[in-house]
Structure 1
Amino acid sequence: MARRLRPVGTDFIETAPLRLVFARVVTASPEAVFRALAEDVPGWSEWFSAVTLARPTEDGAGREVRLRGGVRFQETVLVATAPEAYAYRVDETNAPGVRALVEEWRLTPDGTGTRVRWTFATDGTAPYRLALKLGRAGLGRTFRDAVTALDRRLTSTNV
């Protein structure tokens, strides 16, 4: 059953009780990465293996995302500043223990490519926070694999 989460803003990215931050440099340009993140929402399932469905809602102001294992999210886009930042808040989910969640993707030029930094800012029950801390390495691996697949997709199709 889906539950409403606490409606937090972009300040939560810096103040969340639990922040997991991952970064990777890719060869694609910041503009191409931003387009893939913010404009080609359905394409997420092609490069982010945990995502089985992603679609924009509310004329692009929101997103519906489904993950392997049945987790679902209804999200609100908080920031879409091309080509630097894309952030969204989870408003509703069936994931247990989570109380608030904002994800931010920061894109900065790095040589001829892009440094992609993903911040997973969240709050939840003690078991939820502990599970995320214990799962940090796996979440980092998932991020690295996803960004690597995205880079391959972008550089092979010249998007």
Structure 2
Amino acid sequence: MGSLYPADRVEIDFCDTAPFRYANSVDLAITPEELFEVLADADAWPRWAKVITHVEWTTPEPHGVGTRRTVTMRGGLVGEEEFLAWDPPRMMSFRFNACSTRTVRAFAERYDVEATPGGCRMTWTLALDVRGPSRLGMPLGRPVMDAVFRGFLHRLRRYTDARFAGVTD
């Protein structure tokens, strides 16, 4: 792994106040508890979030506030993450403490989960701030970024449907 650059140590509220935010939801045919089983599974992330190539938990279970992991993404992007919340089956949130690019000033995600009659609904909020020329392009890239993130959630639905086939209706 190459050099990592510190990111701003934001808190959960950054997901509501960040200069660049993307929030999308998906209805899943699994329980909130089953969804957290998927979210805790390092091997599951690359199966549905195709930009991710590897997830490594760097602190032991049980997962909770302060838990850390390293996520490797396509293009060599690496983020060292720290969990700000781990509240199964309702919510989890993490931030980057460091990233392999100086462009990322701050980054956080929040996953809000609510039970529904057919399973659960997950709302995924990705929040970031960037440095330099990237700030100018961010508003223009919003439709593409939203489409990519919606695609991840469609893949999450397909993945959970297959993983829990026969377990839930």
TM-score, with structure 1 as normaliser: 0.88
Aligned length: 158
Shift of 1:127: 2.6
**Aligned partners of 2:35, 2:146: CA distance in 1, in Å?**
18
Q: Which amino acid aligns with 1:53?
A: H
Aligned to 1:56: 57
Richer in helix (by share): 1
* Larger mean Cα displacement after TM superposition, 135-144 or 91-100: 135-144
* Structure 1 unaligned spans of 5+: none
* Structure 2 unaligned spans of 5+: none
* Larger mean Cα displacement after TM superposition, 10-19 or 90-99: 10-19
Answer yes or no: is the 8 Å Cα contact 2:50–2:152 preserved in 1.
yes
Answer yes or no: is the 8 Å Cα contact 2:28–2:160 preserved in 1.
no
Shift of 1:31: 1.7
Q: 1:65 to 1:137 in 2, by over 3 A?
A: same
Please point out which of 89, 95, 106 is paired with 1:100.
106
Query: What is the correspondence of 1:1-159 to structure 2 with a 5 Å cutoff?
Result: 1-37=3-39, 39-59=40-60, 60=63, 61-125=67-131, 127-158=133-164
* Larger mean Cα displacement after TM superposition, 78-87 or 89-98: 89-98
- RMSD value, Cα: 1.8
SS in 2 for 1:153: helix
Deviations 1:82-117 (A, max 9, x none): 111111010111134221111111111233132221
TM-score, with structure 2 as normaliser: 0.83
Query: Over alpha carbons, which structure has the higher Rg?
Result: 2
